[in-house]
Amino acid sequence: GENVEQHPSTLSVQEGDSAVIKCTYSDSASNYFPWYKQELGKRPQLIIDIRSNVGEKKDQRIAVTLNKTAKHFSLHITETQPEDSAVYFCAARLSGGSQGNLIFGKGTKLSVKP
């Protein structure tokens, strides 16, 4: 089955710096890759996603890149702010059949220091 590896597990940056979180997936049939942000005690919330037919997607300070050949995708946050501090999860979803579930990485705890 699908397996998603996420690195680093913790990341500390200074306010204004960029943060990059990387994920790799194992099943080349995966075709959808969302990123979720989870603040302490709250539900995971989608911040950006990308489909396998796209190489890059950007939304203001957040961007995601996908390399299908290497089976990895990355989250880039620029001009980080203290409110970006949270745990970020990448995920992958297989295409085809009745597959509907998301396989999540173990998460990256991002701390943005003012």
Partner 1 sequence: DTGVSQDPRHKITKRGQNVTFRCDPISEHNRLYWYRQTLGQGPEFLTYFQNEAQLEKSRLLSDRFSAERPKGSFSTLEIQRTEQGDSAMYLCASSSRFGGLSAEAFFGQGTRLTVV
Which helix (H) or strand (E) element contains residue 97? none
In three-state secondary structure terms, 108 is strand
110: CB partners within 8 A, 6+ apart: 10, 11, 12, 13, 19, 21, 77, 80, 84, 85, 86, 87, 88
Q: How far apart are CA 63 and CA 45, in angstroms?
A: 16
Q: Which is nearer to partner 1, 31 or 78 (CB)?
A: 31
The tokens describing 99, both together, are 């597959």
Q: Two tokens at 86?
A: 């949270």
Amino acid (1-letter code) at residue 29: A
Considering only residues 30 to 59 of the shown chain, the ones binding partner 1 according to CB under 8 A are 31-32, 34, 36, 42-46, 49, 51
The nearest distance, CB 70 to partner 1, in angstroms, is 21
Q: x/- string (CB under 8 A) for partner 1, residues 79-98?
A: ----------x-x-x-x--x
Quick one: 15 or 54, whose CB is closer to partner 1? 54
Size of the site for partner 1 (CB under 8 A): 26
Is residue 74 near partner 1 by the rule CB under 8 A?
no
Provide the minimum distance between the beta carbon of 32 and partner 1 in the complex, in angstroms, as a whole number: 4
Residues that bind partner 1 (CB under 8 A): 6, 31-32, 34, 36, 42-46, 49, 51, 89, 91, 93, 95, 98-107
